[in-house]
């Protein structure tokens, strides 16, 4: 299955991933969509933590910080081991291209810089079940709320690195760090919202 080009707007010609128009449209998403879908979920889970489960504020903050840290690990692992998986079969290579390879071929496509809800909901459902094996109720709810917030931070840092100047020193550093992943070697710098795990796992790449 070879990607081809189709014009989705007057300004940009996106890489076409599916011949079927419905499936193709699912691969495009306006950048505001993740915020509209996931922020209400995160806020609802936080509300339940206090209003339904009557959890104390300090432990909620603690489990929330853990959720944010676990997000950074998840982001790193997904990017390194799934999105850059060295597939050998034809279908494997196409799946890697579908999930991430097309972004490297066209990193400025505005409609493919945040994760489409169809894929994000599936991934989140699987992760929720896995987290539930080690994080007991009701703590799983604030944990996942802040995990989702970490995901949203990642999504919008990623979008911004490709489309905004980001003049703040920290934001500018993250922009340059991620762009080096695109243009100075895809084998390193897998963190987008944080370089922490690249540094700890020695995948930060050359100091260029």
Q: What is the pLDDT of residue 206?
A: 59
At which residue do the structure tokens 């050998």 appear?
88
For residue 170, being part of any structural domain is answered with yes
Residue position matching structure tokens 């504020």: 57
Domain residue limits at 56: 31-200
Per the CB < 8 A criterion, the answer to whether 114 and 31 are in contact is: yes
Residue 4 has pLDDT above 70, yes or no: no
Q: Is residue 136 part of a domain?
A: yes
3 pLDDT more than 70: no
Alpha-carbon gap, residue 74 to 77, rounded angstroms: 5
DSSP state letter for 31: T
Residue 207 lies in a domain: no
> Is it the case that residue 150 has pLDDT exceeding 90?
yes
Instruction: Identify whether 40 is part of a domain.
Output: yes
Residue 178 CA: distances (Å) to CA of 40, 91, 95, 152: 28, 28, 22, 17
Residues pairing with 197 in the sheet: none
Decide if 143 is inside a domain: yes
Q: Evaluate if residue 110 carries a pLDDT over 50.
A: yes
4 occurs within a structural domain: no
Looking at per-residue confidence, does 64 or 5 come out higher? 64
pLDDT at 5 over 80: no
pLDDT at 207 over 60: no
Q: What integer pLDDT is reported at residue 9 of this predicted model?
A: 42
Is a pLDDT exceeding 50 seen at residue 173? Answer: yes
pLDDT of 40-55, one tens digit each? Answer: 999 999 999 999 999 9
Share of the chain above pLDDT 70, in %: 93
pLDDT range class, residue 141, cuts 50, 70, 90: very high
Q: What local confidence, expressed as pLDDT, does residue 197 receive? A: 95
Lowest-pLDDT range of 7-11, 133-137, 173-177: 7-11
Instruction: Give the global pTM.
Output: 0.86
Does residue 15 lie within any of the structural domains?
A: no
Label residue 1 by pLDDT band (50, 70, 90).
Answer: very low
The mean pLDDT of 21-30, rounded to a whole number, is 86
Q: How many domains in the chain?
A: 1
Closest CA to 154 of 106, 197, 183: 197
**Domain membership flag for residue 18:** no
């Amino acid at each position: 299955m070879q990607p081809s080009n189709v014009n989705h707007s007057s300004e940009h010609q996106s890489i076409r991933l599916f011949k079927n128009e419905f499936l193709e449209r699912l691969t495009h998403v306006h950048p505001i969509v993740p915020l509209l879908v996931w922020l209400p979920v995160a806020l609802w889970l936080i509300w339940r933590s206090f209003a339904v489960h009557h959890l104390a504020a300090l432990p909620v903050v603690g489990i929330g910080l853990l959720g944010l840290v676990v997000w950074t690990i998840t982001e790193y692992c997904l990017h390194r081991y799934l999105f850059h998986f060295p597939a050998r079969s034809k279908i494997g290579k196409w799946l890697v291209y579908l999930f991430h390879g097309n972004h490297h071929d066209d990193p400025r496509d505005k409609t493919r810089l945040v994760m489409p809800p169809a894929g994000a909901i599936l991934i989140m459902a699987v992760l929720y079940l896995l987290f539930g094996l080690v994080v007991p109720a009701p703590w799983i709810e604030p944990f996942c709320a802040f995990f989702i917030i970490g995901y949203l931070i990642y999504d919008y840092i990623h979008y911004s690195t490709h489309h905004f100047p980001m003049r703040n020193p920290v934001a500018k550093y993250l922009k340059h760090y991620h762009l080096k992943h695109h243009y100075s070697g895809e084998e390193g710098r897998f963190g987008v919202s944080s370089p922490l795990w690249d540094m700890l796992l020695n995948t930060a790449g050359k100091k260029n």
